[in-house]
């Protein structure tokens, strides 16, 4: 199962705004009629229950949404770029792996049908129609479209199970899962039979919960021993853990402590999850013979424990009833304290505070809307430059420049264009 993949997603760029003047016979100077560019398409994750893994993305690569069309004359706006919808299994979480090394959760697709925008399309540029004003009847200004967001996405599948069975290899996790659900995990008398988590649905009276067998852990799993411990991410979402130990083991208490140490080394929150501790294989005579000794060992360690036989079914009904009771209690408590998760994880981009910055003799104008005009039009044309200056007045940038101490002859730069004040 491919449950961790890295891909790059790129949203579509916005289309450029048009510069156009309406022309008709006998009307040499009709009004400006340049339409806006269309917005770029978004990249969207869709949680689809018919998708079982992230295998389609295992090659990595670039996934891109459509670009917006350019605006045209006659006030025709450009077409919106097509969204790219990537179908992912329910339970996928996606993080944006930033170049700075930090990573940000951008999607948590817990429910079937849930959608999350992971890369936002760029806005289309404004056509010259939008720059008409009382003082500028024939604007030659328009904006370039904004580039689409590009995100390095790490997607991970986290199974959504209420309860996880953890423990050393070969303790009987699969046997327990098979005993209480319709799941058919492979059962064998050697360790590491189960290599990937297996899910089953448990019914207790009128209630149901999802139980997952988590592959066996051994001491040093965090160093890669045995199967390693990456699969533990699937246990992160469970609310309760059944910690299964083998009654035939030399020291079940010590086994338990070792598995718990590995949980903590993977993720602190995992070690904090409530556990129901269970000694398995009590049908075996050697285990029967030491029941009293085992009870004492656990009670000395302050741990209450269930004794079961997954093979014969002994104690299983009581165990599942206790697990359900604990699950209900925790779920009820969590509902009180849990905040409603926000659909959008992506923080809104911060607005730059400084609009004008002095750098040596040059004054930089840091206003994206204006930079996009500079990118789109021919600034070398004096008429265009004049109109651009009027725009600076209108947006009170001129005032900001003067406040920053600009004098005639100083250099001004906006985007890629520099001119003399």
Ligand X SMILES: Nc1nc2c(ncn2[C@@H]2O[C@H](COP(=O)(O)OP(=O)(O)OP(=O)(O)O)[C@@H](O)[C@H]2O)c(=O)[nH]1
Interface residues with Mg ion (CB under 5 A) are 173-174, 193-194
Given the structure tokens 């006659």, which residue do they identify?
Answer: 74
Q: Which entry of Mg ion, ligand X, none binds 280, CB below 5 to 8 A by partner kind?
A: ligand X
Closest to 119 (Cα-Cα) out of 30, 212, 7: 7
**Listed ranges 4-12, 183-191, 234-242, 297-305: which one lies at the site for ligand X (CB under 6 A):** 183-191
Task: Please say whether the beta carbons of 46 and 5 come within 8 A.
Answer: no
- The yes or no reply on residue 227 touching ligand X (CB under 6 A) is no
| 207 to 226: interface string for ligand X, x by CB under 6 A | ---------x----------
Largest separation between any pair of C-alpha atoms in the chain = 109
DSSP SS3 for 230: helix
Task: Please say whether the beta carbons of 319 and 326 come within 8 A.
Answer: no
Q: In whole angstroms, how close is the CB of 147 to ligand X at the nearest point?
A: 49
**Listed ranges 36-44, 89-97, 309-317, 323-331: which one lies at the site for ligand X (CB under 6 A):** 309-317
Angle CA(322)–CA(328)–CA(332) in degrees, nearest 5? 150
**DSSP structural state of residue 421:** -
Q: Are strands 207-213 and 163-166 parallel, antiparallel or unpaired?
A: parallel
Q: In whole angstroms, how close is the CB of 273 to ligand X at the nearest point?
A: 19
**Listed ranges 8-16, 255-263, 303-311, 329-337: which one lies at the site for ligand X (CB under 6 A):** 303-311
Residue from 32, 69, 172, 197 that binds ligand X (CB under 6 A)? Answer: 172
Q: In whole angstroms, how close is the CB of 231 to ligand X at the nearest point?
A: 11
Contacting residues for 54 by C-beta, under 8 A, at least 6 apart: 2, 3, 4, 5, 88, 89, 92, 155, 157
Q: In whole angstroms, how close is the CB of 318 to ligand X at the nearest point?
A: 15
**Listed ranges 23-31, 154-162, 181-189, 333-341: which one lies at the site for ligand X (CB under 6 A):** 181-189
194-198 long-range contacts, CB within 8 A, separation 24+: 195/227, 196/1, 196/231, 197/159, 197/161, 197/231, 197/234, 198/174
Residue from 45, 141, 157, 171 that binds ligand X (CB under 6 A)? Answer: 171
Given the structure tokens 């981009």, which residue do they identify?
Answer: 349
Residue from 20, 67, 143, 309 that binds ligand X (CB under 6 A)? Answer: 309
Given the structure tokens 């869709």, which residue do they identify?
Answer: 46
Task: Please say whether the beta carbons of 96 and 349 come within 8 A.
Answer: no
Q: Which entry of Mg ion, ligand X, none binds 171, CB below 5 to 8 A by partner kind?
A: ligand X
DSSP SS3 for 338: coil
DSSP SS3 for 115: strand
- The yes or no reply on residue 249 touching ligand X (CB under 6 A) is no
Q: Which entry of ligand X, Mg ion, none binds 189, CB below 5 to 8 A by partner kind?
A: ligand X
Residue nearest to ligand X (CB): 172
- The yes or no reply on residue 194 touching ligand X (CB under 6 A) is yes
Q: Which entry of ligand X, Mg ion, none binds 188, CB below 5 to 8 A by partner kind?
A: ligand X
Distance CA 167, CA 281 (A): 14
Residue from 59, 99, 189, 416 that binds ligand X (CB under 6 A)? Answer: 189
Q: In whole angstroms, how close is the CB of 321 to ligand X at the nearest point?
A: 18
Distance CA 204, CA 268 (A): 30
Residue from 45, 256, 311, 377 that binds ligand X (CB under 6 A)? Answer: 311
Q: In whole angstroms, how close is the CB of 294 to ligand X at the nearest point?
A: 14
Task: Name which of 118 and 227 has its Cβ closer to ligand X.
Answer: 227
Backbone angles phi, psi at 347, to 5 degrees: -70, 145
Q: In whole angstroms, how close is the CB of 298 to ligand X at the nearest point?
A: 18
Task: Name which of 72 and 174 has its Cβ closer to Mg ion.
Answer: 174
Q: Which entry of Mg ion, ligand X, none binds 384, CB below 5 to 8 A by partner kind?
A: none
- Cβ atoms within 10 Å, residue 43: 29
**DSSP structural state of residue 76:** B
- The yes or no reply on residue 284 touching ligand X (CB under 6 A) is yes
Which tokens in the block code for residue 311?
């093979």
Q: Site residues (CB under 6 A) for ligand X?
A: 169-175, 187-189, 191-194, 216, 280-281, 283-284, 309-311
């Amino acid at each position: 199962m491919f449950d961790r993949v890295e891909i790059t997603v790129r949203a579509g760029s916005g289309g450029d705004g048009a510069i156009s003047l309406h022309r008709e016979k006998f009307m040499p100077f009709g009004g400006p009629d340049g339409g806006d560019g269309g917005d770029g398409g978004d990249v969207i994750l869709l949680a689809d229950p018919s998708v079982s893994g992230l295998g389609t993305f295992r090659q990595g690569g670039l996934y891109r949404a459509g670009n917006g069309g350019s605006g045209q004359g006659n006030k025709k706006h450009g077409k919106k770029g097509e969204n790219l919808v990537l179908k992912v299994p329910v339970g996928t979480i996606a993080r944006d792996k930033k170049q700075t090394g930090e990573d940000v959760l951008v999607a948590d697709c817990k429910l079937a049908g849930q959608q999350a925008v992971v890369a936002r399309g760029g806005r289309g540029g404004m056509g010259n129609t939008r720059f008409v004003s009382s003082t500028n009847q024939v604007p030659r200004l328009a904006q370039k479209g904004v580039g689409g967001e590009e995100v390095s996405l790490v997607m991970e599948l986290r199974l959504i199970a209420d309860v996880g069975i953890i423990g050393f290899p070969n303790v009987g996790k699969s046997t327990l899962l098979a005993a209480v659900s319709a799941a058919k995990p492979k059962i064998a008398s050697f360790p590491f039979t189960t290599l990937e988590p297996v899910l089953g649905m448990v019914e207790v009276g009128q209630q149901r919960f999802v139980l997952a067998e988590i592959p066996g852990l051994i001491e040093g799993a965090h160093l890669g021993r045995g199967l390693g411990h990456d699969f533990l991410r699937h246990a992160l979402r469970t609310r309760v853990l059944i910690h299964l130990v083998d009654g035939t083991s030399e020291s079940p208490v010590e086994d338990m402590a070792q598995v718990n140490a590995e949980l903590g080394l993977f993720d602190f929150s995992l070690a904090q999850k409530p556990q129901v501790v269970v000694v398995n294989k009590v049908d075996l005579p050697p285990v029967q013979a030491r029941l009293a000794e085992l009870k004492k060992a656990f009670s000395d360690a302050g741990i209450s424990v269930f004794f079961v036989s997954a093979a014969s079914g002994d104690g299983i009904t009581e165990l599942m009833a206790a697990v359900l009771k604990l699950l209900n209690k925790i779920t009820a408590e969590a509902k009180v304290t849990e905040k409603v998760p926000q659909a959008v994880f992506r923080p809104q981009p911060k607005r730059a505070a400084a609009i004008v910055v002095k750098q040596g003799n040059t004054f930089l104008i840091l206003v994206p809307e204006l930079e996009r005009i500079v990118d789109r039009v021919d600034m070398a044309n004096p008429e265009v430059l004049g109109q651009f200056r009027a725009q600076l007045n209108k947006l009170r940038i001129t005032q900001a420049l003067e406040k920053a101490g600009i004098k005639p002859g100083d250099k001004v730069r906006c985007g890629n264009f520099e001119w003399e004040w």
